[in-house]
Structure formats: C-alpha cells, structure tokens
C-alpha cells in the first residue's frame, strides 16, 4: 500500500491531553489528521487529581492558554503528615506564587479537554467521538491504520494516546500488560461548595487556589497519599495508592481508605456542607524511567500515559504536562516523517530523540530512583508517627514540670532509629 492511498496522514487514538496535543499540532502543520475518542466527548473517560503545571508546555501551545477554562491558579501549598489522631502541616505561600504567569492551575478534565477539542477542531482536526478503536491494521509488520466499529481507517502514522492501559501498544507488540508494582490507583470525589465558602475556608483571594497533599495514615502505611485541590466551585478530593501495596496485608478495600480520609477532622471540616457530585477513579503509571518501554514502532508512536509518562516524586504528582509534551513531540515526529515520506521505525525514531532532548526524559532520568526510594513503607507509617510523637512532647504542658526540649527529641533518636533514618534519607538524596 503506498501512502497516497491512505485515508489520513495521521490517526490519533484517544482524545485526552496527549491525543489532543498531537492532533492540534499536526493540523497546525497542515496535515490531515483524524482523532478517535471512545467517550461521548473528549474528557469523558479522563480523570486527573486536578493540577496542571504550565511552565514546561507553555511555549508549545502559545495560543492556547489565554482562554483556557482553568479552575484556580495555585497560590497556596500545604503538606500534611498524618498520624492516627494528629497531623503536622507545612504551609508554603507568598507573593511569588501569586505572580503571573502562574505556574500551575487546578483543572477539571471534563471541561478542559472538551474545550481543547474545540480548539483542535478549529485547527482542522477531524474528531469522531463515540468511536472505540478495536484493533490495529498491521501489514508486513507495519501499522497501516485502525479498525473501529467494523470500519477500516488507514493512515501513514497512528499515534496511540489510549491511556495507561494502552491496549494498542500491546497489540503493536511494543508493550506487555502493565504490572501492579509500576502502577497506582487514584480515587476522587468532586465536592461542590459555594465559591465564597471555598475562598473563606482556604483563605483565597479571588481566583487563587489551594493545593494540599496528605501522607501517612491516609493510606494506612501503604505507598501513596491524599490530595485536595480547590476548583472554582468545587473541591477535588482523593487518594492515590500503589496497587501492589493494596494487594498485600493489611487487607483494606480501597474505597474505605477514601471514606476514612474524608472523615479525618482535618479534612471533614474543609468539605463540610459540600455535595459530592461525581466519583471517579483511574490507574496511574508510576513506574518511572525504568518502566518506560518502546515508544515507537513501524508506523506507530505512543504518547501520554500510554507511553508511561507520569511521575510521582512525593511532593508533586505529574502526568498532564508529560502528556501534552509527548503529544507535541509525537506530532513533530509525524510531521518530519511526512516530509521525508518515510514512516518506518527508523524514521519515527526521531520521536525518542526529541523526547530525550526535552524536559520529559530529563525529568524521568533525574527522578529514576524516585519510585524505588518512595516505596519505603517507613515514609508512610513510621516517620509520620515519629513526627507526631515529637510534636506532642514539644507542645504538651504536663501537670508537673515539663522535660527539657533537647532530651525530649533525643529520646526518640536511638542509634537504631538514626541508622534507619540515615539509610532512608540517604536514598532521598538520589531524587
């Protein structure tokens, strides 16, 4: 089959952020691109914790951000370390976080992706929703198109942006089914609250937003944590837990963890009076650099979660910027392949080079030890408890005389404890 017989220059499978970024960029270059989305609209099948960092991707889509339907720019950061009945919170805010251009925003994918899809259509992308791709058309080892709803659609390049499970990457032989150790699951509720209540409760000025992360008792010692983001008129509240840890003892059903988190007094008072309006969940790739497999093959490229581009380094959990950027670079690779009129793996290999030269692979390489260091259960149980013990002793005024401060802390620092910390936090230096 020669490329002139093809229905499209490029077919993008999946209308989430990587797919939309790829299709938008390809259409801008004047190529014919079809985007297939299995949901009723872009965003219908997508879940985010709720926060997009713009700095790394701002220049890739210069026209996009001015009118994008963001929720709130994040101007207040909090991290809470939770023990069973107490917590220690670190708060970071200040004028630098409220300066334009803002570095990050809370977003809702149902709104954002739908709007992004409209912008892509304006650039010339043909978008077909309610269209599940069932298979790849593979001839002589090269991907020649897709099968969707009994129809065969051909293209020079297929960009698989079909999410973390990427059934297409498996069909193309680029990947095996994902394993528990490399993935987490996120659960989230959207809790609607009056805008003024949100602004009062979180001390927000106008469109400012707050981001709060919680670790420790939230996941009952399992790898993961809780998150809270303020939207315009709702709160995104949820937890992320490593799937491997969830499968092990102590046995706990994951929905119960979210319910227990909501009942924590620190959280309950923030969502008091709110109405839950949606419950969502999704698998998150968290295996980091070591779990990233082949990113391209003959006539096919993988982008976004399908390529494993999501990263948890504790203080930040990021995926959407990598999705946007990898979609953008997949588009650049497709455009180059089109110019060279060569769609083989050797031609599409430029995709990997573009990624290697970008923040995407730089980040993944820099943080390649993060999943390994972070999976240490002591970070999620022992240290939150220890921090709680120290705080209690420092702040407590007993009926009798109060012990001196230094010995108070020192009593927790046995040689064994300090050696454990030395080893654990030695690992942290690799991040």
Q: What's the CA gap between 55 and 99, in Å, rounded?
A: 13
Is 390 a binding residue for another protein by CB under 8 A? The answer is no
Query: Which position among 63, 200, 259, 357 is part of the footprint of another protein (CB under 8 A)?
Result: 259
Assess contact for 229 and 209: CB atoms under 8 A: yes
SS3 131: coil
CB of 363 to another protein, least distance (A): 23
Assess contact for 113 and 17: CB atoms under 8 A: yes
Count Cα atoms within 13 angstroms, Cβ side, for 406: 0
Supply the DSSP string of 321-364, one letter for each residue: HHHHHHHHHHHHHHHHHHHHT--SHHHHTHHHHHHHTSHHHHHH
Query: Which position among 3, 28, 38, 391 is part of the footprint of another protein (CB under 8 A)?
Result: 38
- Of 54, 43, 59, which is closest to residue 115 (Cα–Cα)? 43
Is 179 a binding residue for another protein by CB under 8 A? The answer is yes
CB of 399 to another protein, least distance (A): 37
Residues pairing with 394 in the sheet = none
Is 12 a binding residue for another protein by CB under 8 A? The answer is no
Q: Could you give the angle at which helices 359-366 and 320-340 cross, rounded to 10 degrees?
A: 130
Q: Which CB sits closer to another protein, 163 or 216? A: 163
Is 23 a binding residue for another protein by CB under 8 A? The answer is no
For residue 268, count other CB atoms closer than 10 A to its CB: 11
Supply the DSSP string of 395-420, one letter for each residue: H---SSPPPPHHHHHHTT--HHHHHH
Query: Which position among 12, 47, 172, 302 is part of the footprint of another protein (CB under 8 A)?
Result: 47
Query: Which position among 17, 21, 34, 48 is part of the footprint of another protein (CB under 8 A)?
Result: 48
Query: Which position among 177, 206, 265, 400 is part of the footprint of another protein (CB under 8 A)?
Result: 177
Q: Which stretch binds another protein (CB under 8 A): 262-270, 311-319, 386-394, 399-407?
A: 262-270
Q: Which stretch binds another protein (CB under 8 A): 42-50, 293-301, 322-330, 408-416?
A: 42-50
SS3 224: strand
Query: Which position among 66, 96, 196, 263 is part of the footprint of another protein (CB under 8 A)?
Result: 263
Is 219 a binding residue for another protein by CB under 8 A? The answer is no
Is 178 a binding residue for another protein by CB under 8 A? The answer is yes
Query: Which position among 40, 152, 194, 396 is part of the footprint of another protein (CB under 8 A)?
Result: 40
Query: Which position among 174, 187, 301, 335 is part of the footprint of another protein (CB under 8 A)?
Result: 187
For residue 92, count other CB atoms closer than 10 A to its CB: 11
Q: Which stretch binds another protein (CB under 8 A): 59-67, 89-97, 180-188, 326-334?
A: 180-188
Is 278 a binding residue for another protein by CB under 8 A? The answer is yes
Q: What's the CA gap between 169 and 301, in Å, rounded?
A: 9
Query: Which position among 1, 99, 268, 405 is part of the footprint of another protein (CB under 8 A)?
Result: 268
Residues pairing with 88 in the sheet = 81
Measured between alpha carbons, how far is residue 280 from residues 51, 63, 240 in Å?
16, 31, 12
Strand 133-139 relative to strand 51-53, pairing: unpaired
Give the residue ranges of DSSP H helices in 166-275. Answer: 167-171, 195-201, 243-247, 254-263, 265-271
How many residues bind another protein (CB under 8 A)? The answer is: 59
Query: Which position among 89, 277, 342, 356 is part of the footprint of another protein (CB under 8 A)?
Result: 277
Is 68 a binding residue for another protein by CB under 8 A? The answer is no
What is the maximum alpha-carbon separation in the chain? 89
| Residues of this chain, 108-137, that bind another protein according to CB under 8 A | 108-111, 113, 129-132
Q: What's the CA gap between 210 and 355, in Å, rounded?
A: 31
Assess contact for 9 and 33: CB atoms under 8 A: yes
Q: Which CB sits closer to another protein, 277 or 356? A: 277
Is 148 a binding residue for another protein by CB under 8 A? The answer is yes
Q: Which CB sits closer to another protein, 251 or 397? A: 251
| Residues of this chain, 230-249, that bind another protein according to CB under 8 A | 234, 243, 246-247
- List contacts with another protein (CB under 8 A): 38-41, 43-48, 108-111, 113, 129-132, 148-149, 163-165, 167, 177-180, 183, 185, 187, 189-190, 234, 243, 246-247, 251-255, 259, 262-263, 268, 271-274, 276-283
């Amino acid at each position: 089959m020669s490329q002139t017989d093809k229905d499209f220059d490029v077919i993008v499978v999946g209308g989430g952020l990587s797919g939309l970024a790829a299709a938008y960029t390809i259409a801008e270059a004047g190529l014919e691109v079809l985007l297939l989305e299995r949901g009723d609209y872009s965003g219908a099948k997508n879940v985010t914790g709720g926060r997009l960092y713009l700095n790394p991707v701002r220049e890739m889509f210069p026209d996009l951000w001015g009118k994008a339907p963001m929720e709130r720019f994040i101007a207040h950061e909090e991290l809470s370390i939770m023990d069973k009945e107490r917590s220690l919170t670190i708060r970071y805010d200040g004028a630098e976080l409220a300066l334009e251009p803002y570095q990050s925003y809370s977003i809702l994918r149902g709104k954002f992706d739908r709007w992004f899809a409209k912008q892509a259509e304006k650039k010339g992308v043909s978008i077909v929703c309610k269209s599940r791709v069932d298979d790849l058309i593979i001839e002589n080892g090269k991907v020649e198109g897709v099968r969707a709803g009994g129809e065969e659609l051909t293209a020079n390049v297929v960009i698989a942006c079909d999410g973390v499970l990427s059934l297409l990457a498996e069909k193309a032989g680029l990947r095996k089914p994902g394993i528990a150790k490399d993935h987490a699951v996120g659960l989230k509720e959207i809790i609607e609250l009056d805008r003024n209540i949100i602004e009062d409760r979180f001390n927000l000025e106008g469109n400012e937003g707050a981001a709060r992360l919680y670790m420790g008792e939230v996941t009952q010692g399992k790898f993961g944590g809780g998150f809270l983001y303020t939207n315009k008129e709702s709160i995104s509240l949820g937890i992320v837990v490593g799937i491997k840890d969830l499968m092990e003892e102590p046995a706990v059903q994951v929905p119960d963890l979210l319910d227990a988190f909501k009942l924590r007094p620190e959280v309950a008072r923030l969502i008091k009076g709110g109405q839950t309006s949606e419950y969502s969940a999704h698998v998150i790739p968290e295996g980091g650099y070591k779990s990233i497999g082949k990113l391209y093959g003959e006539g096919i490229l993988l982008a976004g979660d399908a390529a494993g581009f999501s990263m948890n380094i504790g203080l930040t959990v990021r995926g959407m910027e990598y999705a946007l950027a990898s979609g953008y670079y997949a588009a650049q690779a497709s455009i180059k392949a089109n110019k060279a009129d060569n769609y083989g793996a050797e031609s599409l290999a430029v995709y990997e080079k573009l990624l290697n030269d970008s923040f995407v692979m730089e980040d993944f390489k820099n943080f390649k030890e993060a999943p390994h260091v972070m999976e240490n259960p002591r970070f999620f149980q022992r240290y939150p408890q220890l921090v709680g013990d120290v705080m209690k002793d420092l702040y407590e005024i007993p009926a009798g005389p109060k012990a001196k401060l230094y010995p108070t802390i020192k009593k927790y620092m046995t040689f064994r404890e300090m050696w454990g910390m030395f080893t654990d936090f030695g690992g942290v230096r690799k991040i």
